[in-house]
Amino acid sequence: MTAEVVDVRPAEAADAAQLLILLKQLATESNTFTVDDGLGELSESDERSQIEQITRTTTNTIFVASLGQRLIGVSTVQATDELIKKQGEVGVAVLKKYWGQGLGTALVEEVIHWAQDFSTLSQLVLTVQLRNQRATKLYQQLGFKQATPASYSVVDPTGKKVAAIDMALAV
């Protein structure tokens, strides 16, 4: 029996339906991953248009991890400042079934590579909940440094306040 290989690649418009399914599942599997409130209202056509728009910029990107035809992880960068667009916020999530297999690392590495070689951004930033020690360690290993002097409270998807920090990486 041949083992399937996970492919980490830029999202394509053809991924729209699968990406919507993935994001909805990710939102149910983790209390450290949040999605936009309007996700449930997005059609496949809307998502296809968003992917096409994003891939034409040098300040935003979406990468997906696929196993065969199924998407199992996603990483994104979204410009945070409308005027100068020098800072991009990173998001990453992997289906729970695939945690601990290096997919989060691969997705973040792709984002860093994209930011260094293709983007016009000068910095990647992210917010990580301190209870998510695996993610905090991953970001540190990839060169992210704590960017806030102390932790602060964020509200997780269940409505609970949890401690978090911001981390940043110059690109």
Query: How does pLDDT run across 99-112, given as a tens digit for each residue?
Result: 999 999 999 999 99
Return d(Cα 46, Cα 20) in angstroms, integer.
Answer: 10
pLDDT band at 42 (very low <50, low <70, confident <90, very high): confident
Q: What class does CATH assign to 6-121?
A: alpha beta
Confidence of residue 158 (pLDDT cuts 50, 70, 90): confident
Average model confidence (pLDDT) for the chain? 91
**CA-closest candidate to residue 129, choices 24, 22, 31, 28:** 31
Q: What is the pLDDT of residue 1?
A: 43
Do the strands 70-79 and 87-94 form a parallel or antiparallel pair, or are they unpaired? antiparallel
User: Global pTM?
Assistant: 0.91
Q: Where are the domains of the chain?
A: 6-121
